[in-house]
């Protein structure tokens, strides 16, 4: 059954909308900021006092100081907005409580403030494939599959989604779940590119042939905007006897290489024709991630590899289907994965990162 929200949202089809963007200083957020400004939208970015703003200042966006974990700071930011793109989230943490504080409480705070407006804005929540979980019995994931997150990060993102569902009767909400995101400005994947470039070796965790979905940041940005313009909205969770997947969209290209195949593709993009795949046994992956987590705690600096991330790495394949986004939103990627990897390498080299 199609669910409706008693609100006219045709404003999002206008040439110019008033937009609030959280997480604008991040990798994906900086891409979305550029695109929205390029479309002529009036963009306000929720930022913290400690945020680095060098990527945003040339865009002439408005800065509103606040934090999604501080509900009182959100009222002025949300007031009068047509659309809220919620990208702010915690992807790495020293203390697992931080995942839940940002990814669950942050969503709840934002939805409460949006619901309190005379006219609630449309909210597009950018979640993660981690909230859905790895592939089930080797089958490509679709939005209607039951969720089964395997990490604290994934569980926190799923709880954030459920928080949004509880407000769906008062606020129009659409959720986008990206998998691995690559592209210019991405520092997370940079070390993998560097290792292949310098040593012609691609480290592969575990011995199994796991496959992964990916998307380039520019393609993801376009899908997020399409989700606002054309997407279905969530059904209120308390109104349906069974869970509804309406309003959820996986964001991915239709290629899903193994980790070894991805390494070869990156090698080709770098001009390194011979890349040696180096498989590491799963127990070694756990040992290394444990050591890295100890170092992270000593340095009080969250690092990408940790025990929680290893729960995802060793859980199997992470492949999702973009077909719903294709059918309902008219989504298509602008270039194949090999070309997107070449574009990323070119940008890294122009910036001197490689």
Overall pTM surpassing 0.85 (yes/no)? yes
> 5 pLDDT band (50/70/90 cuts)?
very low
Domains, in order of start, for the chain: 12-181+214-252+319-334 (3.40.50.720)
Beta-sheet strands, E only, within 270-347: 276-280
Question: DSSP assignment of 109-158, as one string?
Answer: HHHHHHHTSSSPPEEEEE--HHHH-SPBTTBPB-TTSPP---SHHHHHHH
Give the pLDDT confidence of 133-164 residue by residue, as tens digits.
999 888 999 999 999 999 999 999 999 999 99
Q: What are phi and psi of 212, to 5 degrees?
A: -140, 140
Q: What is the mean pLDDT of residues 6-22?
A: 65
Residue 290 CA to residue 276 CA, distance in Å, equals 26
Q: Between 40 and 8, where is the model more confident?
A: 40
Q: What pLDDT was estimated at residue 12?
A: 46
Q: What are phi and psi of 332, to 5 degrees?
A: -155, 145
Residue 307 CA to residue 96 CA, distance in Å, equals 11
Give the pLDDT confidence of 250-259 residue by residue, as tens digits.
999 999 999 9
CA dihedral angle for residue 337, residue 339, residue 341, residue 344, rounded to 10 degrees:
-130
Residue 290 CA to residue 283 CA, distance in Å, equals 11
* Average pLDDT over all residues of the chain: 93
* Cβ neighbours of residue 200 closer than 8 Å, sequence gap 6 or more: 267, 272, 274, 275, 276
Closest residue by Cα to residue 316 from 165, 169, 161, 210: 210
Distances, alpha carbon 59 to alpha carbons 33, 39, 67, in Å:
8, 12, 21
Token couple for 64: 């509103």
Say which range, 14-23, 99-108, 187-196, 197-206, has the weakest mean pLDDT: 14-23
Q: Please, are residues 19 and 42 in contact by the beta-carbon 8 Å criterion? A: yes
Q: What pLDDT was estimated at residue 3?
A: 57
Q: Please, are residues 35 and 222 in contact by the beta-carbon 8 Å criterion? A: yes
Neighbours of 139 (CB within 10 A): 11
- Give the distance from CA 349 to its chain's centroid: 25
């Amino acid at each position: 059954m199609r669910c409706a929200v008693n609100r006219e949202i045709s404003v999002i089809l206008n040439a110019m909308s008033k937009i609030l963007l959280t997480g604008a200083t991040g990798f994906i957020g900086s891409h979305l900021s550029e695109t929205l400004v390029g479309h002529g939208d009036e963009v306000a970015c929720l930022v913290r006092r400690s945020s680095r703003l060098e990527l945003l200042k040339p865009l002439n966006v408005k800065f509103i100081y606040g934090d999604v974990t501080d509900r009182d700071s959100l009222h002025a930011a949300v007031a009068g907005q047509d659309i809220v793109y919620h990208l702010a989230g915690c992807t790495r943490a020293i203390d697992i409580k931080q995942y839940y504080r940002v990814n669950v409480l942050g969503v709840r705070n934002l939805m409460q403030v949006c619901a309190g407006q005379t006219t609630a804005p449309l909210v597009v929540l950018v979640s993660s494939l981690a909230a859905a979980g790895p592939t089930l019995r080797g089958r490509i994931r679709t939005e209607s599959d039951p969720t089964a997150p395997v990490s604290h990060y994934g569980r926190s993102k799923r709880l954030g989604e459920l928080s949004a569902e509880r407000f769906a009767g008062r606020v129009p909400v659409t959720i986008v779940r990206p998998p691995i995101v690559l592209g210019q400005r991405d520092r997370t994947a940079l070390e993998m590119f560097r290792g292949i470039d310098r040593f012609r070796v691609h480290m592969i965790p575990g011995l199994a042939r796991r496959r992964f979905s990916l998307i380039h940041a520019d393609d993801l940005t376009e899908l997020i905007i399409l989700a606002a313009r054309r997407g279905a909205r969530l059904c209120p969770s308390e109104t349906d006897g069974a869970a509804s997947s309406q309003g959820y969209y996986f964001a991915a290209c239709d290629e899903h290489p193994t980790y070894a195949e991805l390494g070869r593709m990156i090698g080709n993009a770098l001009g390194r024709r011979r890349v040696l795949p180096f498989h590491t046994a799963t127990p070694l992956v756990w040992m290394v991630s444990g050591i890295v987590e100890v170092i992270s705690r000593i340095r009080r600096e969250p690092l990408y590899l940790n025990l929680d991330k290893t729960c995802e790495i060793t859980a199997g394949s992470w492949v999702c289907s973009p077909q719903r986004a294709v059918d309902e939103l008219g989504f298509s990627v602008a270039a194949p994965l090999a070309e997107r990897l070449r574009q990323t390498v070119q940008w890294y080299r122009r910036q001197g990162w490689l």
